[in-house]
Structure 1
Amino acid sequence: MKNSALLFLFLFTASLMLAQNKTAQKPRVLISTDIGGTDPDDNQSMAHLLMYSDRVTIAGLVSSPSYGEGSTQEIFRMIDLYEKDLPKLAKHSKDFAQPEYLRQRVKQGQKGTAPYKGYRTATEGSNWIIKCAGQKKEPLWVLVWGGLEDVAQALHDAPEIASKLKVYWIGGPNKKWSANAYAYIVANFPDLWFIEVNASYYGFFSDNTAIDTIRPTDYYNKHIKGAGHLGADFKNYYGGEIKMGDTPSLLYVLNGNPENPTTESWGGSFAPITHSPRKIYTAPTTVKDSIPFCGIMEFNLKGPEQTMEPGTVCFKMVVPYGKSQQVWPGYYMGNGQYQLRYIPKKAETLNYYFTSDIDALNGLKGSIVVTNKWPGDQLKTSYPLGKTWFTDKPEAQFYDGKLQGGKTIGKWRTAVMEDWAQRWAWLKE
């Protein structure tokens, strides 16, 4: 009985927060996604976004696959499914986005990671970010589900838009792939309004949250199965099991007070951060060295002078993972300087080695201990950040198991999924 009363109070509070946010002006959101790549949770999050398109103004849908083979084709395919389900959704609200309106706002961004300098050339996607940022007086919420390459490119090409952007980034593994773009942004735009979510988002699909009455494994059979074309398609991703690791970015603007990241919202609660950790190494590391997860490891190595153009990839860092391995590019910067950035995504003892046609670099090996608390102590080599940069709450009471800040999102999952279940029911009518 006590648990039932607590759950009622919890859901009642959540409904009040949602009602308050519904009275506010609809936020303008631009989604930067690597949908269609190696992680199908973006498809799940895209289905959720489209089914809540009456609650936001979608300014853009940018394909930004820093890793994998994502493209606009997959966004168009999801819109096609949504178009088939729209007649049923529209019975409940006249504000759902029209499919053709959405198609006109689908843009292709950069494919692949940024070079060492952090940007490459303008893309249709980066230009669209610039255009959307300058169109209205109200801010543009840039919800990044993949790499930061197009955001970095837009800021490089039009730095004046920085004051118009509010960025919520699902970092973690995406940060590993976007190390150079991220470093460019923190070095040149430390006063950007930015929520950097490196661990909290895991709380949305974690099995650790005790208060939760909905498990990701059974939600499909209870609520999604038989619910329209989007429901039929949902089964193709993780067999219908809920992951939706990018969805907290949308939840953040749907519920609560998004102008204040320190307050409660469906998309989490965050703490201000004064620095982004960076350690510079002039030689391979050992287990005596350590770095926080999601901190920047920057190698500045000396070697023979080369005639190649500065910025040329000339060596690689290889990180073994079980039977596979991941490879990261290193660059010749001129005057015998060789540089590479790597960002570890989790706590572990990381082993790596370098390969190169340059004998002085080839075969070098190293290890480093990655700790489980972000951002850790501020160092002289860390990037200083302004007053509007936020991240996962570091206090122990907000950890969901090993997930820093995970409870700030996981605690709302029942309310979120119950609300979504009502919309799936519309597609069964």
Structure 2
Amino acid sequence: MPFVFRLPGLVLCLFFLFSGSLLPAQEVKHRILVSTDVGGTDPDDFQSLIHLFMYADQVAIEGLVSSPFGAGRKSAILDMIDLYERDFPRLAARAKGFPSPDYLREVSKQGALKSAPYAGHAQSTEGSDWIIRCARKQSEQPLWVLVWGGLEDLAQALHDAPDIADKIRVYWIGGPNKKWSVNSYAYIAQNHPDLWMIEANATYRGWFMDPEAPAHLKGDAYYARYIQGKGAMGVAFKNYYGGRIKMGDTPSLAYLLHGSPAEPEGESWGGSFVRIDRSSRQVFAGASSAADTVAAYATLEWRFEGPELAIPADSTCFRMEILGQVWPGYYLGQGVYGIRYSPKRAETASYKTESGFPQLNGLQGGYTSTNPWPGEASATDMALGEHWYSDRPNPALFIEDQQGAQTIAKFREEFLLDWADRWDWLAE
């Protein structure tokens, strides 16, 4: 209850003063949890973690989950935190809000080590449990789950705790990650179509693809001019792609740093997206051929007939080789076998199966994928809700064959020079 004086003007001023209306509003930071395959098959996540830590005062990091393909483990996250710890005093001297290295270690968790089977989920992990715990925190803000690799831990969390779906916002770097994580993707799209999701299959490539960028921002020129010799993280940056900027996962963070995150169709450092109401899927009853046209990034499913076995569904029973990579196929029950795949670009490819069962061995076929995603509608598409967004299909926004990449590349000089200012914080 404010004090009351006889002077009307003074009454008004004191009322607003005590009610807080004239006090500066407290800065609200976006809550984020990063799921990364750092240490796995692509070293760009190391670059993205360095970038994240250099902007860690701008967001509230609640989790760092290792969701790797290949050899990546939580230890790779901890190694990067060790670098951050050496640079932490300089960063903290320049801005408030940088989290302590010990806090970052505390919220680092191990996630799934293998791709999910056909069901799209398997067993809970420390990482998936941590997603649930963070999502269920009492907060007026959603938890932003930034997925830099596979969707296994997110799918597992949604399976184990469906109630978190309306408490999170997801920005996923899809594309190549989609083909490695296609089973978890299909589970989420089919069982949680109302999830708030940005599915960036190609837009993110505008972070490092820009033929019109100034010379000092291309190749390793940026490293030589702005990073070299600056802090422990600057020294380590040279170890990944020789210092050449890639950081294909960083747009998920940049989306929250500059723009209006609640409006995916607006402009931001992390891209501009369009709502999609379906996820392209083609189901083949038996073989397909190069004459079968599908959308790039579509979910392709092959169903083959074979022996009826008394084994659990989701048992791995055959393999399929596509473009030199091998993918597992599963027993679906009642003599039906299935496998999923997602092409990461427009291409024509062939496949061949291998199995101990004659009915599944040596099957051959192919497909042709085309731009743009999600392509023409099909009866087997997966219907999506009102908050699923993906790459803009406008041909003018492509860079080469990468859909929507111009929506990020247009800001390339702006966001890289902003980062250059922060590298100066680490200069001797």
Considering the TM-score relative to the shorter chain, is it more than 0.5? yes
Match of 1:300 in 2: 303
Q: Structure 1 counterpart of 2:106, which letter?
A: Q
How far 1:308 sits from its partner (Å)? 2.4
Match of 1:341 in 2: 340
Q: Secondary structure at the match of 2:259?
A: coil
Please give the alpha-carbon distance, in whole angstroms, between the structure 2 residues aligned to 1:209 and 1:378.
35
Correspondent of 2:219 among 213, 216, 219: 216
Q: Structure 2 counterpart of 1:136, which letter?
A: Q
Please give the alpha-carbon distance, in whole angstroms, between the structure 2 residues aligned to 1:152 and 1:362.
31
Bigger radius of gyration among the two = 2
**How do residues 20-419 of structure 1 correspond to structure 2 at under 5 angstroms?**
25-65=28-68, 67-137=69-139, 138-209=141-212, 214-320=217-323, 325-419=324-418
Gaps of 5+ in 2: 1-24
Q: Secondary structure at the match of 1:304?
A: coil
C-alpha change, 1:409 and 1:133, in structure 2 (3 Å) is same
Please give the alpha-carbon distance, in whole angstroms, between the structure 2 residues aligned to 1:268 and 1:165.
19
C-alpha change, 1:428 and 1:123, in structure 2 (3 Å) is same
Alpha-carbon contact 1:209-1:411 (below 8 Å) kept: no
Please give the alpha-carbon distance, in whole angstroms, between the structure 2 residues aligned to 1:335 and 1:132.
40
Aligned residues: 403
Please give the alpha-carbon distance, in whole angstroms, between the structure 2 residues aligned to 1:257 and 1:399.
22
Please give the alpha-carbon distance, in whole angstroms, between the structure 1 residues aligned to 2:239 and 2:164.
38
How far 1:307 sits from its partner (Å)? 2.5
Can you list the C-alpha shifts for 1:127-169, whole angstroms capped at 9, x where unaligned? 0000000113210000000000000000000000000010000
Alpha-carbon contact 1:209-1:400 (below 8 Å) kept: no
C-alpha change, 1:219 and 1:113, in structure 2 (3 Å) is same
Same amino acid, percent of matched pairs? 52
How far 1:393 sits from its partner (Å)? 0.5
Please give the alpha-carbon distance, in whole angstroms, between the structure 2 residues aligned to 1:47 and 1:210.
22
Please give the alpha-carbon distance, in whole angstroms, between the structure 2 residues aligned to 1:136 and 1:59.
13
Q: Secondary structure at the match of 2:33?
A: strand
Can you list the C-alpha shifts for 1:389-429, whole angstroms capped at 9, x where unaligned? 00000111211121100000111111111001011111113
Gaps of 5+ in 1: 1-21
C-alpha change, 1:272 and 1:211, in structure 2 (3 Å) is farther
More off after superposition, 83-92 vs 191-200: 83-92
Please give the alpha-carbon distance, in whole angstroms, between the structure 2 residues aligned to 1:23 and 1:171.
34
Can you list the C-alpha shifts for 1:215-271, whole angstroms capped at 9, x where unaligned? 133100001100010000000000000000000000001111001100000000000
How far 1:288 sits from its partner (Å)? 1.2
How far 1:282 sits from its partner (Å)? 1.1
Please give the alpha-carbon distance, in whole angstroms, between the structure 2 residues aligned to 1:141 and 1:190.
17
Q: Structure 1 counterpart of 2:220, which letter?
A: T
Match of 1:7 in 2: none
C-alpha change, 1:402 and 1:317, in structure 2 (3 Å) is same
Q: Structure 1 counterpart of 2:411, which letter?
A: W
Alpha-carbon contact 1:212-1:414 (below 8 Å) kept: no
C-alpha change, 1:76 and 1:210, in structure 2 (3 Å) is closer
Can you list the C-alpha shifts for 1:330-352, whole angstroms capped at 9, x where unaligned? 11111110111111111111111
Q: Secondary structure at the match of 1:421?
A: helix
Q: Secondary structure at the match of 1:91?
A: helix
Please give the alpha-carbon distance, in whole angstroms, between the structure 1 residues aligned to 2:117 and 2:426.
45
Match of 1:14 in 2: none
Please give the alpha-carbon distance, in whole angstroms, between the structure 2 residues aligned to 1:344 and 1:177.
10
Q: Secondary structure at the match of 1:330?
A: strand
Please give the alpha-carbon distance, in whole angstroms, between the structure 1 residues aligned to 2:245 and 2:67.
23
Alpha-carbon contact 1:255-1:265 (below 8 Å) kept: yes
Match of 1:13 in 2: none
Please give the alpha-carbon distance, in whole angstroms, between the structure 1 residues aligned to 2:59 and 2:408.
20
Q: Secondary structure at the match of 2:83?
A: helix
Can you list the C-alpha shifts for 1:89-148, whole angstroms capped at 9, x where unaligned? 111112111111111100000011001000001100000000000113210000000000
How far 1:213 sits from its partner (Å)? 6.2
Which runs of at least 4 in structure 1 moved beyond 4 Å after TM superposition? 210-213
